[in-house]
Structure 1
Amino acid sequence: MPIIEIRLSPTFKRFLSSGQASGILLLACTALSLLITNSPFGKAYLHAWHANVAGLPVEVWVNDGLMAIFFLLIGLELKRELYVGELSNIRHALLPIIAALGGIVVPAGIHFLLNNGTPTQPGIGIPMATDIAFALGVLALLGDRVPASLKVFLAALAVIDDLGAIILIALFYSGALAWSYLGAALVVMAILLMLNRWRVMVLWPYLLGGLVMWSCMLKSGVHATIAGVLLAFTIPFTGKSEDEHSPSHRLEGWLQYPVSFGIMPIFALANTGVIIQPDVLSLISSANGIGIFTGLLIGKPVGIFLASAAALLLRVCQMPLDLNWKHLLGAGMLGGIGFTMSIFITNLAFPEDVLIVSASKMTILLASLTAGVIGFLWLKFFGQPDVADRDLETMDYATTSP
């Protein structure tokens, strides 16, 4: 059977490597944050994150400032995928795109059915997200037991998943709009797009404009982190995966490690400080808690698997040659690791209710841990590559549907 061979680029392999180690570091920071919060130093620890610096609480600087850089990296990764990566070929892209849509709609539907018309309905977006660092970290523990195609599929799925979360945040988790500031942000973006059009290849004008755009977004009512994504799509990309002269490529390379080993651990420390008390634990069994837990643990794998199966059986797209149905189900299980984006959306969904936020975060942690363990065990026993001679350097797609 004729095949198409795709080489994993050095950028993608660095991305995998940083994501794997980052997942372990995030887990350690989460455990540390929970330990300190529930120790005699807990009040001082939480107070430190709410202390004002330059007119804003430290927590806001983390969630609105540092996370804008995180979203910038997501935007750059998405842009690369669209130009030269897995999403650049529509035949290859359709499977992770359709799978991601299934993994968004089904968990959201579960939460909506349980919370429709209640004060916790805004939490509908919480179980929709996949944490790419943790998911790839689990795959890293499996080593050669899983095919390279599964890692690429899961990474592409998580990128599309993040895009869905970004759209959700922009549309439904923004406050009352201040049109003057929003207009100013869009004007800055238009100027940056003009610089791109004129092939201005130095980075500093884009970064300076991005800072101005972020400041305007912060005051506009649209969540400030969206500025990071918009900035990513204004920065020139030459269309060559490893072109060192491409500003987009250079910036992505510079940001991968600071985001993975700096911004994400700080985010975990700032947002997982949950006081474990009876009231919090009881709320995990509430409609909101059940919606989050079942959405991540059941809705994600069901949505991803059924959407993928429908697309493959209807011959809308092709299955990678070294993957099988068990791999798709395993990827769906790992898709239930919500963590970063789920916690981020929790803060936006319930800004005034500390107890619901705490219960939601505890539920996210429990569901994500459970999903990670189940996904790991499933792929450990059923995830061996179907093609014996595949290695981490290649990924093959059949030209015909399964």
Structure 2
Amino acid sequence: MGAESAPRNKFFRRPSTLAERNFIADALRTETVGGALLLIAAVVAVVWANTGWSDAYQDLRDFRFGPSALHLDLSLSTWAADGLLAVFFFVAGIELKRELVVGDLRNPAQAILPVVAAGCGMLTPALFYFAVNTGGGSPDGWAIPTATDIAFALAVLAVIGTNLPSALRSFLLTLAVVDDLGAILIIAIFFTDSVNFLALAGAFALLVVFWLLQRRRVRGWWFYVPLALVIWALMHESGVHATVAGVAMGLLMRVVPDRDERTSPAEHVEHLVRPVSAGLAVPIFALLSAGVAVSGPVLGDVFTHRPTLGVLLGLMAGKVVGIFVGTWLVARFTRAQLSDDLAWPDVFGMSMLAGIGFTVSLLISELAFTDDPVLTEQAKAAVLIGSVLSAAAATVVLRIRNNTYARLCAEENRDDDGDGIPDVYQGDADRLRRDKLA
């Protein structure tokens, strides 16, 4: 009897563990859970950096490891920014490729509004920053407020927008994906001091190999994982920010399944990697980057110091003006039209939501002021404050819109006579019936 029970317990235990693992992975694929983990990591970092254990936090960030012979003896914070965020941008690259091939960006008529909105939403915050820093301050931080955090923005929208039109999420997702591509281009072009062309050529050569493997329908992680690691290492060695390797490989993934495939390789890989990105890569980066010493003088500098004020106004005002006005102008003077499901107050609230620049803005803060650690920390404080205030303002506006749509939904589903058919569909019939009776 005992001999029979042992295998039975083992048999039942494994599916239970597998089910729990699948449950956690599925949860991490949702925007709300990923955004919550990001927020928790940021709060822990800020609290940790402002307690008596702040030295331990700094020691953790500065802890170095890696093979020095390969020039990869990096601090833990650099590993997070260059390595873990490459996973995040890999997923972003897949999303962008899918939008370009089978999504909204495939149709120019549908793509023009979110694409123009993304472009204006990057240009206007930079102009706000330059305007504040004209005649003084530092022009180097202009790129900090240009980015929108996909995970955080979609998480806030998912929490507060249970009745908002699905077209609003699609608009925000497309805008944020294009925004991420713009951020990668900014990092690659403006924050690359010197280029090792031999290493860069090697990275591009292996990216061609990656593309050929996809085109030849080669399957198996044992091909792609080592290849991806070498591409990342060569990109890092080239001097171009290593996250560019992530988005490049994401863009090379095949997003259209063959007839004998249930899902495309891109969809399959994204399904596997997204929990790693949302549950590990982005929260660890936030933990190691968001730890800003917040004090009275630091908070005062955010609102009075030109570079930090430029970041704050760029996120809170520049994003709103750029996205909303840009979208309105395109809809007003071209044939492009806003979705029938959306109203302009929805776009206004979404424009506020795009002011959440958390992950990429923190990364650019570290790249923009490498020679001034104090200004780097002040810029991060401005990003945190600007993102929180943008999220709060967007929550107020979109919550009002959400309540409006909830009332409309309730009115459409009202069934006073209890016949199982909503009264809104019986209005004409009831009126005709009453007319006949009269």
2:107 maps to what in 1? 89
Deviation at 1:133, TM superposition (A): 1.6
Runs of 5+ in structure 2 lacking a partner? 1-25, 67-72, 414-438
Structure 1 or 2: larger helix share?
2
Q: Deviations over 1:234-257 (max 9, x none)?
A: 333325899544221111111111
Deviation at 1:288, TM superposition (A): 0.7
1:372 maps to what in 2? 391
Deviation at 1:233, TM superposition (A): 2.4
Query: Please, what is the CA RMSD of the aligned residues?
Result: 2.4
Mapped pair 1:25 → 2:44? no
Residues 257 and 265, structure 2, Cα contact 8 Å, conserved in 1? no
Runs of 5+ in structure 1 lacking a partner? 1-13, 392-402
Q: Which residue, out of 305, 313, 325, partners 2:332?
A: 313
* Percent identity of equivalent pairs: 35
Q: Which residue, out of 202, 205, 216, partners 2:234?
A: 216
CA distance in 1, matches of 2:330, 2:101: 23
Which secondary structure state, in structure 1, belongs to the residue aligned with residue 162 of structure 2? helix
Q: Which residue, out of 311, 319, 326, partners 2:345?
A: 326
The one-letter amino acid of 1:28's match is I
- Provide closer, same or farther for how the CA distance between residues 110 and 16 of structure 1 changes in structure 2, counting only shifts above 3 A: farther
1:395 maps to what in 2? none
- Provide closer, same or farther for how the CA distance between residues 316 and 17 of structure 1 changes in structure 2, counting only shifts above 3 A: farther
1:78-227 aligned at under 5 Å gives the runs 78-116=96-134, 120-227=138-245
CA distance in 2, matches of 1:74, 1:29: 21
Higher mean alpha-carbon deviation, 227-236 vs 31-40, is at 227-236
Deviation at 1:118, TM superposition (A): 5.5
- Provide closer, same or farther for how the CA distance between residues 45 and 291 of structure 1 changes in structure 2, counting only shifts above 3 A: same
CA distance in 2, matches of 1:235, 1:202: 14
The one-letter amino acid of 1:372's match is A
Ranked by relative contact order (alpha carbons within 8 Å, sequence separation 6 or more), the top structure is: 1
2:380 maps to what in 1? 361
Residues 292 and 360, structure 1, Cα contact 8 Å, conserved in 2? yes
- Provide closer, same or farther for how the CA distance between residues 150 and 232 of structure 1 changes in structure 2, counting only shifts above 3 A: same
The one-letter amino acid of 1:358's match is E
The one-letter amino acid of 2:165's match is P
CA distance in 2, matches of 1:314, 1:242: 45
Deviation at 1:205, TM superposition (A): 2.2
Residues 28 and 34, structure 2, Cα contact 8 Å, conserved in 1? no
Residues 201 and 236, structure 1, Cα contact 8 Å, conserved in 2? no
- Provide closer, same or farther for how the CA distance between residues 15 and 327 of structure 1 changes in structure 2, counting only shifts above 3 A: farther
CA distance in 1, matches of 2:335, 2:153: 26
TM-score w.r.t. the length of structure 1 is 0.88
2:368 maps to what in 1? 349
Q: Number of matched residues?
A: 378
TM-score w.r.t. the length of structure 2 is 0.81
- Larger of the two Rg values belongs to structure: 2
Deviation at 1:30, TM superposition (A): 1.1
Which secondary structure state, in structure 1, belongs to the residue aligned with residue 113 of structure 2? helix
CA distance in 2, matches of 1:334, 1:240: 37
CA distance in 2, matches of 1:242, 1:143: 38
